[in-house]
């Protein structure tokens, strides 16, 4: 049986041709949704909402945490005085989230899940100036 590709896969192949590379951990800013997505593994996930701002991504394969999403990211950075003229350090943004949240569950999710992913995968920057993807550093 020959594997088939869906329309999205075919569109990516047409757009990037031979420049397609394997998955790498990354931080993505989605300007339209004003959210940051940090993705460490290319697997099927379940989104587990921590609060109105933070969602963690849990692997459907082994239950490990493989990423997180920060909603209202650009607005939150502006409120917290983080510069939007260049890349924002995710560690700084996560610290601000803990600082303003009274919920201990948020602090646990940030410190035990999100920061660990950022450190382990070396994905510490995200550019909020425009929609972008920043990959792990070498």
pLDDT tens for 50-80 read: 999 999 999 999 999 999 999 999 999 999 9
Burial class of 2 by CB neighbour count within 10 A (0 to 12, 13 to 18, 19+): exposed
Mean pLDDT taken over the chain: 85
pLDDT of 2 higher than 90? no
47 token code pair = 């989104």
Q: Report how far residue 26's alpha carbon sits from residue 122's, in angstroms, rounded to the nearest whole number.
A: 9
Angstrom distances, CA of residue 96 to CA of 10, 33, 53, 82, 104 = 40, 20, 12, 9, 14
Give me the percent of the chain exceeding a pLDDT of 70. Answer: 78
CB count, 10 Å around CB of 110?
Answer: 25
What is the pTM (predicted TM-score) of this model?
0.79
Instruction: Please compute Rg for the chain using Cα positions.
Output: 16
Looking at residue 85, what is its pLDDT?
84
Looking at residue 31, what is its pLDDT?
87
Looking at residue 14, what is its pLDDT?
63
| Domain range summary for the chain, segments of one domain joined by + | 23-135
């Amino acid at each position: 049986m020959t594997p088939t590709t869906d329309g999205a896969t075919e569109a990516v192949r047409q757009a990037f041709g031979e420049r397609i590379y394997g998955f790498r951990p990354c931080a993505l800013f989605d300007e339209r949704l004003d959210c940051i997505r940090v993705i460490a593994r290319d697997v099927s996930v379940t989104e587990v909402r921590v609060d109105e701002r933070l969602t963690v991504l849990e692997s459907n394969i082994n239950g490990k945490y493989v990423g997180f999403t920060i909603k209202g990211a650009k607005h939150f950075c502006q409120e917290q005085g983080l510069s939007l003229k260049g890349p924002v350090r995710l560690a700084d943004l996560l610290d601000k989230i803990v600082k303003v949240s009274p919920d201990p569950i948020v602090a646990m999710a940030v410190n035990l899940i999100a920061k660990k992913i950022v450190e382990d995968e070396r994905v510490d920057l995200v550019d909020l100036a425009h929609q972008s993807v920043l990959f792990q550093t070498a």
